[in-house]
């Protein structure tokens, strides 16, 4: 309403290096005080009285501001060991302070933890929450400080021991109204004993600790916007050892460490990072079948020959200009995405005989002749060439399909099934091509005959000697 004026107090809370702000009206203070007088027997006279006359005057506001600040400081001194829940919530401890954060999470899991585990759904945690858990475990103090069994840290540890699916989502910039930068907070994943799948996004590889403890259980690992190298995620111990080898490998060189492999990892998604090289860390993920390295900074494909079980590979939206002898690195894969690169030649794809689905969209392919390199692949069923320069060539679809000969009807081009009309046109193009080849062979044969019978007219041929028989 016009003329309505409300006084809001901004409270700045400091906990070590962390600071945050909370906004409250006087009525919020009053409600807090009512709870504390009932639950904690706080002196009713401690809260500054509510004024009616001149309540919005500058002098009154400033005086009340100082009185309320003293009120809060007195309460915190009165409860040095464990902040009462109403006061902790009032100051947003459950959002920014490690004790409040773990207490809130513990209470949530006390009520819903078993239900969440039975449902088998993905559970989300923030780096700040994981940091708080890690810090709490390092402190030599009881797992429950405020006397409320629902907030016991044990509820969290029991849940993390049995959780199967975890998602960790960080933030860029400060958290809420605080100065807390989540990307600078280290957290330990070793409290998770049964994880099958984990997704980490918007974190820093330097803050992730204990990931190697998941090597025996993890089946799916997804890391986004969090690393510049595969090594820092797959072999974090590499920084400690100059020479290392995966367990079970035969090496003629001396090594300083033998690193356990990821025993059950079949899916690795490290898309949307800043990875420029496929390094030797892939030696530890031999069972991986699905590999996604899209939206990175790769300019070459290396070391994938160590992944014998690869079936699906996504290298889209990198900086690949050429891919030579792909079969020596990609083996018997069925799905390959190379979309969004800078490829203008396909000579390296000629021997990917198991390939079923190939995405080459958004590249620099301009010559239809390049399609011959994949036209003889016996299993290819889906081909995407959209948004390449060759797409503007007249009758582009039929000319591409013609490169597959008798298999043209089996190929789905650019997401569109081949029509009967296109197949008829393909047959005409094939007939024309066959006639051209026959003509070229005949022309070539005539040239050979001419080259054999041709002689110099100025040279007299040798005389024919007649044989005379006398009877």
- 308 in any annotated domain: no
Shared domain for 431 and 348, answered yes or no, is: yes
Shared domain for 21 and 80, answered yes or no, is: yes
> For residue 340, what pLDDT is reported?
98
Segments of the chain with pLDDT less than 70: 1-5, 51-56, 140-147, 250-255, 437, 439-440, 444-471
Shared domain for 113 and 14, answered yes or no, is: no
> For residue 454, what pLDDT is reported?
45
* Sign of CA pseudo-dihedral 216, 220, 226, 229: positive
> For residue 251, what pLDDT is reported?
63
> For residue 240, what pLDDT is reported?
80
Shared domain for 111 and 198, answered yes or no, is: yes
> Residue 60 — left, alpha, or beta (φ > 0 → left; ψ -120 to 50 → alpha)?
alpha
> For residue 168, what pLDDT is reported?
98
List of E strands, 32-169: 123-125, 165-169
- 2 in any annotated domain: no
- 455 in any annotated domain: no
Shared domain for 170 and 57, answered yes or no, is: no
> For residue 431, what pLDDT is reported?
77
At 81-125, the pLDDT tens digits run 888 999 999 999 999 999 999 999 999 999 999 999 999 999 999
Shared domain for 137 and 206, answered yes or no, is: yes
Q: Take residue 396 and report the two structure tokens written for it.
A: 């582009």
At 416-459, the pLDDT tens digits run 999 999 888 888 877 777 777 676 677 766 555 555 444 444 54
Query: Radius of gyration over alpha carbons of the chain, in Å?
Result: 36
Shared domain for 105 and 116, answered yes or no, is: yes
Helices (H) and strands (E) in the chain, counts: 12, 17
**Total domains present in the chain:** 3
Please give the residue range of the domain that contains residue 80: 8-90
Phi, psi (5° rounding) for residue 187? Answer: -140, 155
Grouping H, G, I as helix, E, B as strand and the rest as coil, residue 252 is coil
Q: Which of 176, 193, 214 delimits the end of a domain?
A: 214
**Separation CA 224–CA 272 (nearest Å):** 5
- 365 in any annotated domain: yes
DSSP 461: P
Whether the Cβ atoms of residue 351 and residue 324 lie closer than 8 Å to each other: no
Shared domain for 128 and 199, answered yes or no, is: yes
At 208-255, the pLDDT tens digits run 999 999 999 999 999 999 999 999 999 998 878 778 888 877 666 666
Shared domain for 101 and 195, answered yes or no, is: yes
**Separation CA 350–CA 163 (nearest Å):** 45
> For residue 243, what pLDDT is reported?
81
Whether the Cβ atoms of residue 71 and residue 20 lie closer than 8 Å to each other: no
Shared domain for 38 and 99, answered yes or no, is: no
Domain CATH for 30: 3.30.1520.10
Residue 153 contacts by C-beta under 8 Å, 6 or more apart in sequence? Answer: 102, 106, 133, 136, 137, 143, 144
Shared domain for 110 and 75, answered yes or no, is: no
Shared domain for 210 and 99, answered yes or no, is: yes
Burial of 190 by CB count in 10 Å (0-12 exposed, 13-18 middle, 19+ buried)?
Answer: middle
Q: Which of 49, 70, 90 delimits the end of a domain?
A: 90
> For residue 54, what pLDDT is reported?
57
- 306 in any annotated domain: no
Helix axes 58-78, 26-39, angle to 10 degrees: 30
């Amino acid at each position: 309403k016009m003329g309505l004026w409300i006084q809001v107090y901004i409270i700045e809370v400091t906990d070590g290096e962390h600071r945050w702000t909370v906004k409250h009206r006087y009525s919020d203070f009053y409600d807090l005080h009512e709870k504390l007088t009932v639950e904690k027997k706080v002196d009713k006279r401690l809260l500054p009285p509510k004024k009616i006359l001149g309540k919005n005057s500058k002098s009154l506001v400033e005086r009340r501001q100082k009185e309320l600040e003293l009120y809060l400081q007195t309460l915190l001194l009165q409860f040095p060991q464990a902040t009462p829940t109403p006061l902790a919530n009032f100051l947003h401890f459950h959002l920014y302070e490690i004790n409040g954060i773990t207490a809130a999470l513990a209470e949530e899991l006390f009520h819903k933890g078993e239900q969440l585990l039975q449902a088998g759904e993905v559970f989300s945690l923030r780096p700040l929450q994981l940091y708080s858990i890690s810090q709490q475990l390092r402190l030599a103090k009881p797992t429950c400080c405020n006397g409320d069994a629902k907030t016991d840290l044990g509820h969290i540890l029991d849940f993390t021991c049995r959780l199967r699916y975890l998602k960790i989502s960080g933030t860029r910039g400060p958290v809420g109204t605080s100065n807390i930068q989540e990307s600078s907070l280290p957290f330990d994943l070793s409290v998770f004993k049964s994880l099958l799948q984990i997704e980490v996004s918007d974190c820093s590889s330097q803050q992730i600790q204990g990931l190697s403890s998941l090597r025996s259980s993890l089946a799916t690992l997804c890391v986004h916007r969090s690393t510049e190298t595969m090594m820092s995620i797959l072999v974090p111990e590499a920084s400690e050892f100059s020479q290392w080898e995966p367990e079970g490998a035969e090496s003629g060189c001396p090594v300083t460490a033998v690193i356990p492999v990821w025993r059950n990892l079949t899916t690795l998604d490290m898309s949307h990072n800043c990875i420029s090289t496929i390094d030797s860390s892939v030696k530890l993920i031999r069972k991986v079948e699905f590999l996604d390295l899209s939206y990175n900074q790769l300019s070459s494909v290396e070391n994938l020959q160590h992944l014998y079980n690869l079936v699906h590979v996504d290298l889209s939206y990198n900086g690949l200009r050429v891919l030579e002898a792909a079969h020596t690195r990609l083996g018997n894969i069925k799905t390959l995405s190379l979309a969004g690169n800078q490829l203008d030649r396909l000579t390296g794809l000629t021997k990917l005989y198991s390939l079923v689905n190939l995405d080459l969209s958004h590249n620099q392919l301009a010559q239809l002749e390049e399609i011959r390199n994949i036209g003889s692949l016996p299993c290819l069923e889906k081909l995407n060439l959209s948004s390449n320069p060759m797409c503007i060539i007249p009758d582009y679809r039929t000319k591409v399909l013609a490169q597959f000969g008798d298999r043209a009807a089996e190929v789905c081009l650019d997401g569109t099934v081949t029509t009967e009309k296109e197949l008829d046109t393909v047959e005409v193009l094939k007939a024309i091509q066959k006639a051209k080849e026959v003509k070229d062979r005949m022309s070539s044969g005539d040239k050979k005959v001419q080259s054999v019978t041709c002689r110099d007219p100025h040279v007299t041929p040798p005389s024919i000697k007649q044989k005379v028989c006398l009877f």
